[in-house]
Structure 1
Amino acid sequence: MLKLNYTDVGLYMERTTTNPELLIAQRVLLAMRLGQTLHVEPGCASFLLPADISELKVLGMALDREYGSAATLIAVDEEFVEVGLSGSWIAEDKDAHEGMFLAVMSDRTEFLIYKLWQMSEAHISSLA
């Protein structure tokens, strides 16, 4: 499973083998114990990757073949493509910009997305 954490400083992605239902149940239990509200809903999330990454073609084919419209790869401009995923959004409220997004895909596709995201983060860090 891919876990995308959207924070005030950006996106952090990780791969985990935890069952998504178990992770959601644990997060709900934690919120209840802390007296916090929690919003969980099916949804979509997206992030950008540089358009010049050679493996994007492989990712595009894998997403088309395995997920159809549940996962997309769309050119934004000459420099970036947007990866869109379907999954579950978990946040403090419905309109929150910070939260956790969970997407379950095949191991191969999850690994490829994670690898490309890591490459893009390294590329951005080297520019700073």
Structure 2
Amino acid sequence: MVAALKEDLEKQEEHFQHVQNLETAFLTELEEVQYYLNRGDHHLPYVLNIGFPGQKNDLLLLRLDLAGISISTGSACTAGIVQSSHVLEAMYGANSERLKESVRISLSPENTVEDLHTLAKTLKEIIGG
């Protein structure tokens, strides 16, 4: 039992490090694009909420969907509901442009560097950069 728990904890750390590396690589690839992150100093790498100034998130989602890429504008618990993120609304106010420019990207240990490279490349093609 102890050995199994130890192995599970090691895998958890390995998964965390993998996802953290994916996030870092993705943001590095986006350096040519103007963006902002909606998060505090202490965060987990599994959910990346990112905004692109001047880009309407609904149109961005549509174009990414046409390219075979699925991301979202709200939390997983509000999937299928068309409304602004209540978290971003609480952080920045109901009239903030961030509500219309931000998307949520979920990362997991199953994602690959190639997945994030494809996303970054597609975003740059759509946004320009």
Q: TM-score scaled to structure 1, two decimals?
A: 0.32
Larger Cα Rg: Structure 1 or Structure 2?
Answer: 2
Q: TM-score scaled to structure 2, two decimals?
A: 0.31
Indicate the structure with greater strand content. 1
Indicate the structure with greater helix content. 2
